[in-house]
Structure 1
Amino acid sequence: MAELSREQLTKRPFSDKKHYPYGFGRSGDFSISESKLLQSHGSLFAALVDGKLTPQTDEEQQYLESALGHRPPQTPQEKAWLKYQARINRPKAASIYGSKRSMTEEVDEDEDIGDNSDIDIELDTE
């Protein structure tokens, strides 16, 4: 896959099909303004955090520091990005029904499952 230029990488709308397949605005997790901020600035944040881009301006350096947790978020873009990160990295809820049975239970190989000798069936033959 060809490398994208800085301009192409930062200008394309950000989306996360894995966690938000119907978009940020339809998820209920974000306000309309937060979803617009994520779509417009999310690609830049993702590229900075992933190391695909190096910060070239003071604003980008502040974005990176905020995204990495080195300073508290100050702009609405930074707050939306940190809210997005908190949502996708939250722990998964446990089931109220418990866990699946362990498949490591050993089956006694001496038992013949097909042997029905202990079952008595009486049939009326009249």
Structure 2
Amino acid sequence: MTTLSREKLINRPFADKKHYPYGFARSGDFSISESKLLQAHGSLFTALVDGKIEPSSDIEINYLNAALGQCEPQTPQAKAWVKYQTRINRPKAASIYGSKRAVTEYADDNMGIDDNSDLEIDIDDD
């Protein structure tokens, strides 16, 4: 694994292809200015949070504290990052088409019928 220098690591554009495959600007979750801030500063936030680099200034310490939820974000960059984190960590929406629970309730209704039970059928032969 090659190690990147600090400058290359924090200066490369940030993109999240998993959660935002078409980019931040086209998602509808972020304004144009927020998407530009995420693209420009997201790699720095990722490197700080992952521990790949140590904060070298008070600004980076504030970024790290805001990203970890230890203080309120003060800068537009930190606000955009916190908004990004809340968007990707929100709970998944449930399906409107039903769930597995409905299937198990149906299976419970049929539990009273035993396949090996003797069935009596009366057929009148007149």
Alpha-carbon separation, structure 1, partners of 2:64 and 2:12: 19
Paired residue for 1:92?
A: 92
Alpha-carbon separation, structure 2, partners of 1:37 and 1:21: 17
Amino acid corresponding to residue 44 of structure 1 in structure 2:
L
Higher helix share: 2
Shift of residue 97, structure 1, vs aligned partner? 1.7
Q: Structure 1: which 5+ runs fail to align?
A: 106-110, 112-126
Amino acid corresponding to residue 17 of structure 1 in structure 2:
K
Q: Which 4+ residue blocks in structure 1 deviate beyond 3 angstroms?
A: none
Superposition pairs of residues 1-126 of structure 1, within 5 angstroms: 1-100=1-100, 101=103
Amino acid corresponding to residue 59 of structure 2 in structure 1:
E
Alpha-carbon separation, structure 2, partners of 1:79 and 1:6: 23
Shift of residue 70, structure 1, vs aligned partner? 0.9
Structure 1 vs Structure 2 CA RMSD: 2.0
How many residues in Structure 1 have an aligned counterpart in Structure 2?
A: 109
Q: Structure 2: which 5+ runs fail to align?
A: 108-114, 116-126
- Sequence identity percentage: 73
* 1:27-56 superposed Cα distances (whole Å, 9 cap, x missing partner): 000000000000000000011011111101
